[in-house]
Amino acid sequence: MRQIFSAGGFDLWEANANDLCFDPRFHLALYDAVLAAICNTSTTKYSRVKAKVEGLGMTAWRIKRLLSAPSAKVGKASVSITVNANTFVPVAVPIYRALCKEGITPLVVTYETPANRDVEKELGSQGIPFSPIESFIDEATAGNTATAWSALQNAWALLKRDKEFTGNFELSGRSFWNEAEPAFDYFFETRKRARETLEFYAAFENALKKTGCRKVIVFDDATANGKACVQAARNAGGRSFVMQHGVLTTPEISAGSSADEFMVFGEADKRFLLKAGVKNVVVVGNPKYDRLKELTQEQCKKKLGLQGRVLLHTTQPLGAGYESARRAIVEAGKRLGATVVFKLHPLDNPADYEEFKKAGAKILQQVDVFEAITASDVLITINSSTAVDAVAAGKPVIITNFGNWEEFWPGGKILLRARNPGELYELLAGMPKQNDSERRKFVREYAYKLDGKSAERVAKRVLRHQQY
């Protein structure tokens, strides 16, 4: 490694992606080094700036959550489930219920962010009791936070407008401030995330101490908060489990898993993790699929107000460049006299789909994705994990790839490919059907078994470690 920065008593070195993304102490050191360099540019002038930002705490979002969060009314619990994204809820709910059937009432800890504001709404709609992480923040953890984030932002805005400060970024008569500013912006944003991670860690430790939890289930330990949960469990002498919640796509991120056990949907997912260097990988199936047998197409169509042949497109927040595929889906639906439904990803903005709504597509967001899939006759997507969901539900699937985008799913007979609008129309006009033999192979690879017992396997797997 090579040295990349030295200031304020910190000597920082080039680090790999996991260090940069997931080590809060590294973030704090890096930020403090940058801040020291800024403040030491002119000791007198910038001393007030340093004073403003020292003791930076939570963002305004977290402060508001802290003030509004109810006190945690929880008793003893041997298992905790952390849900910090609404995409985790469909996997978390059946696991919660399976643990309850085993005589264990888990502690469900929620962590909402501006990007994931509906976690608690989703859990509440399922009748799942939860405790916001803010309810475990004690006075010491929450101290000195009222003006923290606004003070930092104001200080940084002041510095960026200051010619004396920006004029320091010159080398051989050439200013490189335009290149430096984005890096400094990143460091200031990083400081916020790092502080929140440390606060989350302290609060989660408080939750484990208060309830006596020694087994922790998370749905992603590639994030800073997920890693904080794993570390808190380890420090408490407990055991941590990661339960897969979606598509595994990045070996470098998965390789950073530090949990005691990683539970996955299918055999393909296990091979993926083992190749990435993850140990203790166990195939349990997908808990989301345990309820598939309860749903019927007629029932779901009636609930969603759909009629006739339904072409379902499950979207993803992929940005610009994918509109051609979506326009082709709407046009094919018109030609075939079918109902076109766009089920939006939880992170999608409905305003981005006004064009397709005006063209006749029905836009759904806050609906059960499995009810939407069951109501449909065919699913069309790009790279969504709903491709597997649809196969599990017995629906034909078409992958639209009009721009040679990276595909997550393997080729084969079970997932049909459309490379242009003409191919898409021909596939839909041909009324695609699933091949039963290929479907069984695919399910084994990506969902293990459709026996309605995946959540039960998770619960038994977690509870069998009686020494904790």
Collapse the DSSP code of 93 into the 3-class scheme (helix H, G, I; strand E, B; otherwise coil) and give the result: helix
Cα 95 to Cα 14: distance, rounded to the nearest angstrom: 41
Label residue 130 exposed, middle or buried (CB < 10 Å: 0-12, 13-18, 19+). Answer: buried
30 pLDDT band, cuts 50/70/90, is very low
pLDDT tens for residues 59-114?
556 656 665 665 556 677 889 999 988 889 999 999 999 999 999 999 999 988 77
Both 54 and 108 in one domain: the answer is no
Residue 205 lies in a domain: yes
Predicted confidence at residue 42, as pLDDT, reads: 43
Both 326 and 439 in one domain: the answer is yes
Both 130 and 57 in one domain: the answer is no
For 49-201, list the strands marked E by DSSP. 79-83, 107-110, 131-132, 170-171, 174-175
Residue 130 lies in a domain: yes
> Are 15 and 26 a contacting pair, CB within 8 Å?
yes
47 pLDDT band, cuts 50/70/90, is very low
Identify the domain boundary among 191, 221, 250.
191
Both 136 and 150 in one domain: the answer is no
Indicate the number of domains in the chain.
3
Both 235 and 273 in one domain: the answer is yes
Both 46 and 82 in one domain: the answer is no
Q: What CATH number does residue 424 fall under? A: 3.40.50.2000
Both 49 and 74 in one domain: the answer is no
> Are 452 and 293 a contacting pair, CB within 8 Å?
yes
Residue 261 lies in a domain: yes
Both 14 and 35 in one domain: the answer is yes
pLDDT tens for residues 1-12?
344 334 333 333
Type and span of the H or E element at 68? helix 60-68
Average pLDDT of the chain to the nearest whole number: 78
Residue 441 lies in a domain: yes
Cα 342 to Cα 353: distance, rounded to the nearest angstrom: 9
Both 340 and 412 in one domain: the answer is yes
Cα 207 to Cα 201: distance, rounded to the nearest angstrom: 10
Collapse the DSSP code of 283 into the 3-class scheme (helix H, G, I; strand E, B; otherwise coil) and give the result: strand
Cα 350 to Cα 135: distance, rounded to the nearest angstrom: 32
In this prediction, residues 396-404 reach a mean pLDDT of 84
Collapse the DSSP code of 96 into the 3-class scheme (helix H, G, I; strand E, B; otherwise coil) and give the result: helix
Residue 468 lies in a domain: no
Residue-number span of the structural domain to which 364 is assigned: 293-446
Both 224 and 95 in one domain: the answer is yes
Cα 17 to Cα 253: distance, rounded to the nearest angstrom: 8
Q: Is the pLDDT of residue 301 over 90?
A: yes
pLDDT tens for residues 135-192?
887 665 554 333 444 555 566 676 677 776 676 666 566 776 776 677 666 656 665 6
Percentage of residues in the chain with pLDDT exceeding 70?
Answer: 69
pTM of the model: 0.74
pLDDT tens for residues 256-287?
788 999 999 999 999 999 998 998 999 999 99
pLDDT tens for residues 429-455?
987 777 788 888 899 999 999 999 999
Both 283 and 423 in one domain: the answer is no
Predicted confidence at residue 438, as pLDDT, reads: 86
In the chain the first and final C-alpha atoms are separated, in Å, by 39
In this prediction, residues 27-32 reach a mean pLDDT of 48
> Are 418 and 427 a contacting pair, CB within 8 Å?
yes
